[in-house]
Amino acid sequence: ETGVTQTPRHLVMGMTNKKSLKCEQHLGHNAMYWYKQSAKKPLELMFVYNFKEQTENNSVPSRFSPECPNSSHLFLHLHTLQPEDSALYLCASSQAGTASGANVLTFGAGSRLTVL
């Protein structure tokens, strides 16, 4: 496997369900991100982890709970979601540290979530 892999690619859940999104990167990066993209809206940064430590929580509701057990894996645990949470959830990775043109953000294919 190469790049950034996300599972599942599609998920339909009820408002009372508990589910998790999984992300794995094979690029040797040490920073991982969750972004949300709703229809016709810009990408919204949700969480950032650098070296497994959460460094950014962009005022995300507690019904979204991230977990980063190591630098290669990132999860997003979902519970009691609302229909307006339906969106494309994108995982990405990069090298932490100094910004440079060579230090780019690489995305997974995304998990398309529908909350009924």
**Which positions lie near another protein, rule CB under 8 A?**
33, 42-43, 45, 48, 55-56, 88, 90, 92, 94, 96-110, 112
Give the separation between CA 102 and CA 23, rounded to whole angstroms.
Answer: 23
Q: Please identify, using beta-carbon distances, which residue of 48 and 78 lies nearer to another protein.
A: 48
Q: How far is the CB of 88 from another protein (least distance, A)?
A: 8
Distance of CA 55 to the CA centre of its chain: 14
Q: Which of 34, 110, 48 lies closest to 77, judged by CA?
A: 34
Task: Please compute, for residue 98, the number of CA atoms within 13 A of its CA located in the half-sphere on the CB side.
Answer: 2
Least CB distance from residue 5 to another protein, whole Å? 12
Q: Residue 105 CB, nearest distance to another protein (Å)?
A: 5
The residue among 5 and 80 lying less far from another protein, judged by its C-beta, is 5
- Write down the least CB distance from residue 30 to another protein, Å: 12
Cα 83 from chain centroid (whole Å) = 18
